[in-house]
């Protein structure tokens, strides 16, 4: 079993390079299904969810060639629809993009139900609403979602009852080659929505308004291959900012788009973290003395839910009581019980966490219950007294490219260890 071992107390110094955004790379890779040509995708993070995605595509008949650690060439010319591997699909949430891509190219889709982090119920009713508006007949059963629009896949006006990243992207994928025009009203506005639209437009699509709450898609007859670089990961960047805020020190977070970080930067500044903005970097300084604040997670440009657990750790160290209201998912509080093992005092009341500050965090044996919960444990361990051992680190590696190596470079006492039964040995990073 692999685990991450951290001895707390080291301040962080130096430069960390942010990788490409996981939640943009995954839909872009699945969008390659719409292109009967070679697509070269660069700045792809080397994370488990990308590896699973490439394996799914390869098993469906795509030709996948890794050019280097962060670039890949994908040719879906001979890919066969409806053939995705059920067990691989259920490993990741983003596999639901197979539905939109298969429907867009083959006018039908046959995909196992998606997996992903457990935040309570994660329905796909808005995805289904969109597929049906475009002419699809949807059946869910036996672990699969089937969509059939072989009669006619046509443009439509769609209004989303809930702002949904996944549904917005899935309807873009479904509509880009459909007859006529599709409008998506109440669309999600995340930077990764814009990235997927930019990729598709680079391949010859006609998508306008991505990044606003109204997206218009004029169907085109075909798409051609292209080269495309994924945007930097604002959540990875925010996670490293949180590491420095809690551990103290001064770091330069390189390869960011400051505009994407606005809500994260604003909230950390409220907590007495000093942040200097450059064109493509942020300099983060902290003496570890943080002031309390309150925040509510919301769809972009609101504060991102994927930074909720990380910010809770800053609040544990603040000099007073803070509040986090989870405004996106039903239950994103599973991280609380693991932080409590390290001394955190967090009470959950409905969708709000009440976080007592001034807490002295202590090292402990803890488990990463999901991707961002695991990131929060790493942040807490950096400031905790003593040694912390984090297991289930595969969940962290789903979305962070070499987080152990990057933190070690910044001066953290952190290593990845392999523990067969009782013995433990270091893993070279
Ligand atoms: C994406 O999940 C991300 N995952 C999540 O990141 C992120 O937290 C989330 O967007 C919000 O930004 C990927 O991109 C792979 P949603 P997604 O559809 O698409 C409800 C991480 O840590 N909803 O925007 O599943 C839903 O239940 C992961 O990287 C419906 O009700 O999120 C939720 O309450 C975690 N019906 C809200 O909308 C639907 O049909 C937002 O979900 C779809 C969603």
C-alpha distances (whole Å) from 99 to each of 8, 106, 120, 248 are 44, 10, 22, 45
* Whole-number Å distance between alpha carbons of 149 and 38: 26
Pocket mutation for ligand 1, best pick of 162, 237, 309 (most atoms within 8 Å of C-beta): 162
**pLDDT value of position 424:** 54
Q: How far is the CA of 165 from the centre of ligand 1 (A)?
A: 6
**pLDDT value of position 121:** 72
Domains of the chain and any CATH numbers: 2-19+232-427 (3.65.10.10), 22-225 (3.65.10.10)
The alpha-carbon radius of gyration of the chain (Å, integer) is 22
Q: How far is the CA of 164 from the centre of ligand 1 (A)?
A: 6
- CB–CB of 149/136 below 8 Å? yes
Q: Can you give the pLDDT of all 429 residues of the chain as single tens digits?
A: 899 999 999 999 999 999 999 999 999 999 999 999 999 999 999 999 999 999 999 999 999 999 999 999 999 999 999 999 999 999 999 999 999 999 999 999 999 988 777 777 779 999 999 999 999 999 998 989 999 999 899 999 999 999 999 999 999 999 999 999 999 999 999 999 999 999 999 999 999 999 999 999 999 999 999 999 999 999 999 999 999 999 999 999 999 999 999 999 999 999 999 999 999 999 999 999 999 999 999 999 999 999 999 999 999 999 999 999 999 999 899 999 999 999 999 999 999 999 999 999 999 999 999 999 999 999 999 999 999 999 999 999 999 999 999 999 999 999 999 876 555 566 654
- Atom index in ligand 1 nearest the CA of residue 169 equals 19
Which residue's C-alpha comes closest to atom 7 of ligand 1? 306
**pLDDT value of position 429:** 46
- CB–CB of 24/43 below 8 Å? no
Torsion of Cα atoms, 341 then 343 then 344 then 349, to 10°: 70
| Strand-strand pairing, 322-325 and 352-355 | antiparallel
> Residues enclosing ligand 1, CB less than 6 A?
23, 26, 93-94, 117, 122-127, 162, 164-167, 188, 305-306, 328-329, 371-372, 399
* Whole-number Å distance between alpha carbons of 427 and 424: 10
3-state secondary structure of 68: strand
**pLDDT value of position 427:** 60
* Whole-number Å distance between alpha carbons of 420 and 408: 24
Q: Which two tokens stand for residue 39?
A: 């697509």
* Whole-number Å distance between alpha carbons of 63 and 59: 9
**pLDDT value of position 367:** 97
Is 117 designated active site?
yes
Q: Which two tokens stand for residue 86?
A: 């059920």
């Amino acid at each position: 079993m692999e685990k991450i071992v951290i001895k707390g107390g080291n301040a962080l110094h130096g430069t960390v390079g942010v990788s490409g955004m996981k939640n943009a790379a995954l839909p872009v890779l699945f969008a390659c299904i719409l292109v009967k040509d070679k697509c070269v995708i660069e700045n792809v993070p080397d994370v488990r969810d990308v590896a699973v995605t490439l394996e799914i595509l390869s098993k469906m008949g795509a030709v996948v060639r890794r050019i280097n650690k962060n670039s890949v060439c994908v040719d879906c010319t001979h890919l066969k629809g409806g053939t995705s591997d059920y067990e691989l699909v259920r490993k990741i949430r983003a596999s639901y993009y197979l539905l939109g891509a298969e429907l867009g190219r083959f006018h039908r889709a046959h995909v196992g139900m998606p997996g992903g982090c457990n935040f309570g119920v994660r329905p796909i009713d808005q995805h289904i609403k969109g597929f049906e508006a475009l002419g699809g007949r949807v059946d869910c059963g036996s672990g699969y979602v089937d969509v059939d629009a072989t009669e006619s896949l046509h443009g439509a006006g769609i209004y989303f009852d809930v702002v949904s990243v996944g549904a917005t992207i899935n309807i873009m994928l479904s509509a880009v080659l459909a007859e006529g025009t599709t409008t998506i009203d109440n669309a999600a506005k995340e930077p990764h929505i814009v990235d997927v639209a930019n990729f598709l437009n680079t391949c010859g699509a006609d998508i306008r308004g991505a990044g606003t709450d109204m997206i218009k898609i004029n169907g085109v007859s075909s798409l051609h291959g292209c080269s495309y670089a994924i945007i930097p990961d604002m959540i990875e960047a925010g996670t490293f900012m949180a590491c420095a805020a809690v551990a103290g020190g001064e770091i330069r977070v390189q390869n960011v788009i400051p505009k994407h970080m606005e809500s994260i930067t604003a909230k950390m500044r409220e907590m007495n973290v000093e942040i200097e903005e450059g064109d493509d970097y942020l300099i983060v300084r902290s003496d570890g003395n943080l002031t309390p604040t309150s925040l509510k997670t919301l769809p972009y440009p609101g504060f991102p839910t994927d930074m909720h657990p990380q910010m809770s750790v800053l609040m544990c160290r603040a000099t007073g009581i803070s509040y986090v209201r989870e405004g996106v998912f039903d239950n994103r509080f599973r991280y609380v019980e693991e932080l409590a093992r390290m001394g955190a005092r967090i009470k959950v009341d409905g969708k709000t966490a009440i976080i007592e500050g001034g807490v002295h965090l202590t090292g402990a044996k803890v488990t990463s219950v999901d991707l961002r919960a695991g990131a929060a444990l790493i942040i807490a361990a950096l400031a905790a007294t003593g040694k912390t051992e984090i297991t289930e680190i595969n969940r962290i590696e789903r979305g962070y490219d070499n987080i152990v190596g990057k933190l070690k470079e910044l001066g953290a006492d952190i290593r990845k260890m392999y523990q067969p039964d009782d013995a433990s040995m270091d893993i070279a990073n």
